[in-house]
Amino acid sequence: MANVLNNLFGGKKSSASPDPAQAGDSDFADFSQSADPSPVPFSPASNTLGGVQPQQTLRPYTKWYRIHERHTWSDFKAEGIILSVIAVALIFHLIGARLNRTKAKKWIRDHANTLTSEFALVGFAGVPPAVADKKGDELVQALADSNARQGESLLKEKSLFEFATYATGRANVAFLDVKLTLMKRFNPLTTLAETALGFFIDSFPQPQDVVEATLYPFDGKEASIVPGLPGAAELRYKDGKSSFDGFVWAIVHKECMKQVRDDRYDVSLTYTKDNAKLPNWLTVMSESAEITDALLTPELAKAVEAAGDLLEYLIVSDQPIDKPKTIDETTPRKRIFLKYRIPSNNDYTSLLPIFKYFVRMTDQLAQLAHFRPAVIKKVKQIREEVVKQIQKADETSKAEERALERERAKKLKRDQELNALDAKGQRKYLEKEKEKEMRRNVKKQTARA
């Protein structure tokens, strides 16, 4: 009690503080003495060879510094699958692209002689500047040498599955376009999907390797088509003798006959008839039997028979592929079409004869495709009927537009008159309008009765 009073009123402290250990308070026995740290003595490294190696301070061992103990290969399964899929896709892409390029190069190597021998200029390189001052045989030889130097570059790669080439500089031919469409071997999933769609849907074509060539004849228009190039004047000597009558005639494989007729308007104008000169897998689609007799030569029959099942069609046409919707689209434009499938073994021996005949066909047309007036009249009748249908549809459309215009003008006049009146006048105007409409309906019902 005395200690408490001394602490409160500042009394004199006792000279001796009792020892907690002596007082028997065991809770503070551990703190009765102050800490006495003993530092670790430093031992310098021995410079002698036989001295004791110094003790190194090592970083404490943890798994953070040893990734092979923290992870195993099983932890990277998802990454492994993704990388494997990417690797497989890349391999298929490279192999497929290489296969397509190989097929395209093989085609141009086998057809280069035909193209360079028939045309003065092949490919997209243009006219070499070195031939600008040459004429006659020197010009022909210089162009032939230029084509030979291009080699496989005569064919241009537009994409991994589309290749194209171009040729011009031949009598009776303005120019030639050739397009190779190959399967998308670099993308197996796309090829598989297209194959499945083609199997279940008839209108969806099966993926295949095909060649489509389109030849544009001069048709007597050399003066307006031939550009001012060296030697171009030599192509103008014909004076219109390259022209021939317009018609539609085709040799078509029977398996794709329906699809060709559905996809092409020009072929739909013809009628189908088998011919004894052709093998049983081919048929003729023509507008006149006289046209067939003139065009189906023994040489052509032999060439299409050699092509076999790979040939899809050979078409001579002066009509558009799509059905015309205006009078301008009915203007005749003569072209020759050739389409065949690329053989799987890349052997074009059986297809070269039909390709050569296709390139030279304009010479035959300019010489033989001039028919009797009765045949031409029969051919023109179908075209005139189409023109009449277009004119009728055009007149109907214009009449509807005029009716709509009159209706809009009438409505505008009514709105202007109605806006010029006050509320009472507008009410009377609407009542009169309603009465007129009722009388008009009564007259219609009476007329029907």
Q: Please state, in angstroms and rounded to a whole number, the distance separating the CA atoms of residues 204 and 193.
A: 11
Closest CA to 256 of 318, 307, 205, 213: 205
* 3-state SS class at 39: coil
* 3-state SS class at 358: helix
* 3-state SS class at 317: strand
At 304 the pLDDT is 95
Structure tokens at 197: 């769609």
pLDDT (tens place) for every residue of the chain, 449 residues total: 556 555 555 544 444 444 544 444 555 455 455 555 555 554 545 544 444 555 555 666 565 666 767 777 888 889 989 999 999 999 999 999 999 999 999 999 999 999 998 998 898 887 777 776 677 777 777 787 788 888 888 999 999 999 999 998 888 999 999 999 999 999 988 888 888 888 888 777 788 999 999 999 988 887 777 655 545 555 554 455 788 999 999 999 999 898 999 899 999 999 999 999 999 999 999 999 999 999 999 999 999 999 999 999 999 999 999 988 888 888 889 999 999 999 999 999 999 999 999 999 999 999 989 999 999 998 888 888 888 888 888 888 888 889 899 889 888 888 888 888 888 888 888 888 888 888 888 877 887 76
Q: Please state, in angstroms and rounded to a whole number, the distance separating the CA atoms of residues 104 and 216.
A: 23
Q: Rounded to 5, what percent of the chain is helix, strand, coil?
A: 55, 15, 35
Domain residues of the chain, as ranges?
97-377, 378-448
Q: Please state, in angstroms and rounded to a whole number, the distance separating the CA atoms of residues 69 and 170.
A: 77
DSSP conformational letter for 426: H
Structure tokens at 389: 């249908």
